[in-house]
Structures are given as structure tokens and as C-alpha cells.
Amino acid sequence: MPQERKKVIFSAMQVTGRLHLGNLEGALRNWVRLQDDYELYAGIVDLHSLTTTYEDTSEILGNVRQAAIDYLAAGLDPEKTAIVIQSWVPAHCELHALLSMVTPVSWLERVPTYKEKREQLHIASPSYGLLGYPVLMASDILVYRAEVVPVGRDQEPHLELTREIARRFNHLYGDIFPEPQSLLTEFAVLPGLDGRKMSKSYGNCIYLSDTPDEVREKVRAMFTDPKKIRRDDPGHPEQCPVYAYHAAYAPEGAEEVKRTCEAGELGCVPHKKQLGEILIEALTSLWERRAALTADPGYVDRVLHQGAMRAREKTDETMELVWQAMKLR
């Protein structure tokens, strides 16, 4: 029996900094689970980083390499998954130029992340590239003719726009692009050390490149329930990031922690000590793989070249169809 064709997935992370636990639990682990059943392209989108970081670009390349190491250390298998650095695969840019012709500016101006970024970063005069961020993202996805895109809920408007652009292109030139479906990852998102969303800009992250001592220190300084000042004060675990981490990394002990915290039998200081060790144990094998990969830059290079080759093969095929459909070939 002919084997059923595997569906194509493209997903990616932007690398304005190092990857953190939120990236690991929110995205990477999911990709690792999906790589057996799908044709998976795991992007490292360095061009997207330029939309906000274009003045000092000196850290992007280092972050790209670290991200590649993290992808591998988390368990992406380069025999199954193509790890793709966006700027190494020219078709992302080619398709971006073409899609930008068929995308009305008004569609882009109403994308919520555009407004948010402008306000958060106090950008008085936004660049053309920042406005076009979602067109570049649509190009990333459509250039693989990806059918499924695992993303967080915050990316849903970008996916919707990607589908609109695909429909418009197909309507104008013929059916080239499938409409990609988002695969929302539903799990308890790990909060940052202060209980807000984990984000580099809040400085509340545990990075995959942190050392065990850095993790211990960060956990020691974590926020807890502000109403629990002394050990015997009753705690509110559901509002405490230390508990959230405990539940994520050692669910078997979570019930007991909840009971003793609420009963005023467990203090925050010993609980954090315990959590620090739980996290260190949970990350040890990833750290070991990280260290081995860092010691073997030649291997990482080969993986990245191989990923780019596979991506080029796939995306050149799409571009040929696109140029023909547009009657430019």
C-alpha cells in the first residue's frame, strides 16, 4: 500500500534573545512530539528579529546558533526535521516580495501585534518591514505549502491573515497554497519568575543556557503569594508561580505541596529550595546535550547546512509553481 503523504508543518521562533523555559514547554516539546508524524520544518527566523533589532545586529547570529543548539538539545532529530535558518533560504524573501504586492496595507494596519509593538517600543515612525512582519510570516509558512502551523494563541491573528493572503493569491493566480490551519498548543503556560508572562523584555526568564547555580538563584528570588509572609500563613498556590512550576515539573508531588502550603505547614523558602532541585533535575539531560553540541560546532554546522538544503529543495518547488502561476516563467 502506498504510504500516505505526511502533512507539512512549518513553525518558527524569533531570536531576539536566548530561548527560555516558556519556549521549551510552549513550543519545542510540542514540535518534538510532532516530528514523527509530520514533515516538519523548524524555523529560526532571523529576518523577523530585524523588524525591531536593526540598529545593533551584532547579537542575532549568536542567538541563531544558540537556538539551533537548543532545538537539537530539546530533541529535534535532524534526520526527521529540517532546522531552517530563514535567511539561508532565499525563497522566503522571494515569496515575501510577491505576497507584498497582493496584500492591502489596510489588512496589516489592523493586526493587533503591530499596534502593540509600536506602543510598547515607542516607535514613532514604524518601518515598512515592521508593518510587513505578518507578510514575511505568511511567506515562511506558504513557501513550504504548510498545512499545519503549531503556534500560541497570540499568533492566531497572524495565521488568519496568512489564510487571507493565501486565498487572495489563489483567487488571482490559481490554486497553489493550502490554507494553513493553526494547531493551538493548550497546556498550562509556564509563567515568568514574577508571575507575569515569561518574556525576555520582563527579565523574568529561566534560559535554557542558564547554569544550575543560576537556576537555583533565580528560583530563590521568585515571587510567591504576597499574602503568605510567614510559614504558617495560609498560602494560595493557584496564584503562586512556584506552585505552577512545581505542578508542571513534578505533578506527582503537587497535591501534597498544595495541601501543606494552604495549611501553613510549608514555607516558601524551603519550597523554593525543593523546586530549584526539581528544575535542575528536569533540565540535566538537556544541559548535557547542550554541552556536547557546544563542543562540536562542526556537527551543528552540518545540521544547519542540511536543513537549508532540504528547505531549498522544497521551497524552490513552490516558487516554480508560483512564478508559473503568475505567468513570469
Give me the 99-138 binding string for ligand TRP, x by CB under 6 A, dash otherwise: --------------------------------------x-
List binders of ligand TRP among 150-179 (CB under 6 A).
151, 155, 158
CB of 169 to ligand TRP, least distance (A): 17
Q: Cβ 316 to ligand TRP, closest distance in Å? A: 19
Q: Least distance (Å) from ligand TRP to the CB of residue 251?
A: 27
| The one among 149, 206, 242, 279 contacting ligand TRP by CB under 6 A | 149
Q: How far apart are CA 28 and CA 35, in angstroms?
A: 11
Does residue 141 touch ligand TRP according to CB under 6 A?
yes
Q: Does 24 interact with ligand TRP (rule: CB under 6 A)?
A: no
Indicate if 200 belongs to the active site. yes
46: its cell numbers: 532571523
Residue 234's identity, in one-letter code, is P
What does the per-residue mask of binding to ligand TRP show for 231-250, with x meaning CB under 6 A?
--------------------
Residue by residue, DSSP assigns 50-106 as HTT--S--TTHHHHHHHHHHHHHHHT--TTT-EEEEGGG-THHHHHHHHHHHHS-HH
Q: By CB under 6 A, is residue 318 in contact with ligand TRP? A: no
Contact call for residue 47 and ligand TRP (CB under 6 A):
no
**What distance, in Å, lies between the first and last C-alpha atoms of the chain?**
37
**List 7, 80, 200, 273, catalytic entry:** 200
Residue 40 near ligand TRP by CB under 6 A: no
Rg (CA), the chain: 22
Is 117 a known active-site residue? Answer: yes
**Cβ-count burial 67-100 (b if 16+ within 10 Å, e if not):** bbbbbbbbbbebeebbbbbbbbbebbebbbebbb
Least distance from C-beta 50 to ligand TRP, angstroms? 12
48 vs 271, beta carbon nearer ligand TRP? 48
Q: What is the DSSP string of 184-243?
A: E--S-PPB-TTSSB--GGGT---BTT--HHHHHHHHHT----TT--STTSPP-GGG-HHH
CA neighbor of 302 nearest in space, from 144, 91, 79: 79
Q: Annotated active-site positions, please?
A: 117, 197, 200
Residue numbers at the binding site for ligand TRP (CB under 6 A) = 10-12, 14, 45, 48, 137, 140-141, 149, 151, 155, 158
